[in-house]
Amino acid sequence: MPRKPPTPTADARRSDGPIQFLTPEGALESDSRLGLPARLDLPALYRDMALVRRLDTEAIALQRQGELGLWPSLRGQEAAQVGAAHALSAQDMVFPTYREHGVAWCRGLDPVSLLGLFRGTTLGGWNPYENRFQLYTLVIGAQTLHAVGYAMGLVRDDAIGSGDDSRDTAVLVFLGDGALSEGETNEAFVWAAAQNLPVVFFCQNNQWAISAPYSVQSRVPVAQRASGFGFPGVRVDGNDVLACLAATGDALARARSGGGPTLIEAVTYRVNAHTTADDAGRYRPASVTDEWIAKDPLERLRRHLTASGAVDEEFFAGIERREHELADHLRTGCRSLPVPGPASSFEHTYTTMPAELGHQLAGHLEFVASGQENGATR
């Protein structure tokens, strides 16, 4: 029988726990380990979290209506994503997984473009250079190496360490707690450390990799992994948008200045099932989820904003109107996403279509034009 490893110490004392500025009750506190950014737009952070949650809710509804094949919900992770994204400079490059709808939103992507992949009308959906937000990556861990390579390019472009804020650039790459177990992710850590690359690994430890609790992957916190490679790991309350923003800002600044990589662990929770195709009831008790819902990232900022008098009722009403507009936009946009034409599978496989592929395309177009289809029509 396997002996149980010593369980990692619970965050009994505050200074051992994840960095936190905003308590679940909405109180703003300081943390000796990290400073808050000088300028903070709390209403904007709240607004983005609220809109992103609505985006998510609407996509789930669209999936239920059969408009999407699948949707990976970000519910519960709004603070992690919006906080991290608010720390980005325009020139920074983002490498997401498949759940970073909140980051996409903050990067300015039309949220309708996120739906194509899950509706089955596209394999991508946006130009990764336009908003400096790369395509979603479904193969766990693969994007971490792309981020590292991109960061190698930044080094060669002298795009770090100049002191010029509009020039110095970093890479922000997202990954899940499960992704920490893939070999490729660890190779990315090796490269980033040995070459001191300007890359920030932002891990949303949402406690689950589909049905696997984090204990299946590791017996120590995510952030500790970095120490084995010799670069800093930071653990923050992933439901505290300020902690996520501050830690990411700090790490990105270090990366841009030539100070090398950081691994950020945002401790949060996947409130919904893995995707709309998953049934979380099979592997986890609802009670734990309820505990996390009590730590809701939006609620605590709402409490703080209300208590501090920074915003009024109209602020929330305005957000609600924008939520409705967003939902309308998503519903309409989703249904009018163009179904790709029969030639589209053949296009862009190569920069120039090889002759043989051209023959296959010609045959395929003829087949489709003849009105035949996959089933038997004769």
> Is residue 127 at the binding interface for other proteins, with CB under 8 A as the rule?
yes
**Rounded CA gap, 140 and 217, in Å?**
14
Is there binding between residue 129 and other proteins (CB under 8 A)?
yes
Report if residue 128 touches other proteins, rule: CB under 8 A: yes
Cα Rg of the chain (Å, integer): 22
Residue 183 binds which entry of other proteins, ligand TPP, Mg ion, none, CB below 5-8 Å type-dependent: other proteins
Specify whether the CB–CB gap between 162 and 168 falls below 8 A. Answer: yes
> Rule CB under 6 A: which of 138-157 touch ligand TPP?
138-140
Burial environment of residue 30 by CB neighbours within 10 A (0 to 12, 13 to 18, 19 or more):
exposed
Q: Is 283 a catalytic residue?
A: yes
Which one of residues 52, 179, 263, 330 is an interface residue with ligand TPP (CB under 6 A)? 179
Q: Does 70 bind other proteins (CB under 8 A)?
A: yes
Q: Which does 42 bind (CB under 5 to 8 A by kind): Mg ion, ligand TPP, other proteins, none?
A: none
Q: How far from each other are the two terminal CA atoms of the chain, in whole angstroms? A: 62
Query: Of Mg ion, a copy of itself, ligand TPP, none, which one does residue 309 interact with (CB within 5 to 8 Å by kind)?
Result: none
209 binds ligand TPP (CB under 6 A): yes
- The answer to whether 176 contacts Mg ion (rule: CB under 5 A) is yes
Instruction: State in angstroms the smallest separation of the CB of 98 from a copy of itself.
Output: 21
Cα separation values, 33 from 20, 247, 368, Å: 10, 10, 63
Cβ atoms of 75 and 271 within 8 Å: the answer is yes
Phi, psi of 39, deg, nearest 5:
-105, 125
Round to whole Å and give the CA distance between 98 and 262: 21
Among 79, 94, 154, 242, binds other proteins (CB under 8 A): 154
Residue 177 or 240: the one with the smaller Cβ distance to Mg ion is: 177
212 binds other proteins (CB under 8 A): yes
Closest CA to 99 of 77, 122, 129: 77
3-state secondary structure 135-187: CCCCCCCHHHHHHHHHHHHHHHCCCCCCCCCCCCCCEEEEEECHHHHCHHHHH
Q: Minimum distance from CB of 301 to Mg ion (Å)?
A: 23
The binding site for a copy of itself (CB under 8 A) comprises 1-5, 8, 155, 158, 160-161, 180-187, 190, 193-197, 215-220, 224-231, 258-260
Residue whose CB is less far from ligand TPP, 256 or 295: 295
Ramachandran angles phi, psi of 96, nearest 5°: -95, 170
Return the closest-CA partner of residue 252 out of 106, 86, 369, 374.
86
**Which part of the chain contacts other proteins (CB under 8 A), choosing from 75-83, 225-233, 246-254, 344-352?**
344-352
Going from the C-alpha of 181 to that of each of 5, 74, 168, 216, the distances in angstroms are 18, 21, 31, 10
| Shortest Cβ 226–a copy of itself spacing (Å) | 7
Q: Which is nearer to other proteins, 321 or 378 (CB)?
A: 378
Per CB under 5 A, the list member of 77, 137, 185, 206 interacting with Mg ion is 206
- Applying CB under 6 A, among 83, 116, 178, 221 the residue interacting with ligand TPP is 178
Question: Minimal distance in Å, beta carbon 95 to ligand TPP?
Answer: 14
Question: How near is the Cβ of 37 to a copy of itself at its closest, in Å?
Answer: 23
Query: Closest distance between other proteins and the C-beta of residue 163, in Å?
Result: 21
CA distance 330 to 347: 27
Backbone angles phi, psi at 309, to 5 degrees: 70, 15
Q: Any contact of residue 177 with Mg ion (CB under 5 A)?
A: yes
Catalytic residue flag (residue 270): yes
305-325: string of b/e by CB count within 10 Å (b at 16+)?
Answer: beeeeebeeeebeebeeebee
Instruction: Pick the closest to residue 117 from 182, 53, 59 (CA basis).
Output: 59
Binding status of residue 196 toward other proteins by CB under 8 A: no
Please identify which of the residues 75, 99, 274, 300 carries the catalytic annotation: 274
Name the active-site residue from 283, 302, 329, 364.
283
Instruction: Report the interface residues with ligand TPP, using CB under 6 A.
Output: 99, 138-140, 176-179, 206, 208-210, 270, 274
Catalytically active residues are: 270, 274, 283
